[in-house]
Amino acid sequence: MSTIGCDQATKHLARSHLAGLPPRSFLGGFVRIALAENEGGFLSLGSSLPPALRATVFFLDVAAVLALAAVYLVRPAGLRFSVLLCAWGIWAGGLSNFLDRILFEGRVTDFMIVGLGPLHTGVFNVADVAIVAGGVFLALSAWRVHPTGPGPDGVHEGNSERSIE
């Protein structure tokens, strides 16, 4: 719930204090803040879809995925804590962005941009950070070392394989 609370609080601050203002730069331009209302998904993908299709994808489909994920997360069936934590981060970020869509006519509030020289991110929010971080750490946790026991020299060897159990 802290992910949702932090995300919604920062979005409220962005809507309250950044509306109508030009982007502001910090840390020598590495971080910029600017209010953006995103009708699409990640990096505004889908924002140009016809309104009816966009509503289906970003309301009905996302609601179904969040509901199924919640059922799965409530009954984790032997998942490691690290995997469960990553999955909860992804779910909480998705739910917080979904709340924006419900409250703000299908739009998600974004306000942060990070960049170095000509390279920069799209505009994002705290929920997006939770989703991406959860996804990255979940993918990394899929590659873990399983001990196979000591080798001939007495040193434990590992067998690297993908597993999230």
Give me the pLDDT at residue 107, please.
92
Distance between CA atoms of residues 110 and 126, nearest Å: 9
Give me the pLDDT at residue 151, please.
55
18 is written with which tokens?
A: 């950044």
Residue 96 corresponds to which amino acid?
S
Q: What is the dihedral of CA 21, 26, 31, 36, to 10 degrees?
A: -10
pTM: 0.80
**Checking DSSP bridges between strand 119-120 and strand 143-150, what pairing results, if any?**
unpaired
Give me the pLDDT at residue 163, please.
46
Give me the pLDDT at residue 152, please.
59
**For each of the chain's 165 residues, which pLDDT tens digit applies?**
699 999 999 999 999 999 999 999 999 999 999 999 999 887 778 888 888 888 888 888 889 999 988 888 887 777 788 888 999 999 999 999 999 999 999 999 999 999 998 999 999 999 999 999 999 998 888 776 455 555 556 554 554 444 455
Give me the pLDDT at residue 124, please.
96
Where along the chain do its domains lie? Answer: 2-162
Give residue for tokens 């509503």. 55
Length of the chain: 165
Give me the pLDDT at residue 57, please.
85
Give me the pLDDT at residue 10, please.
98
Give me the pLDDT at residue 162, please.
45
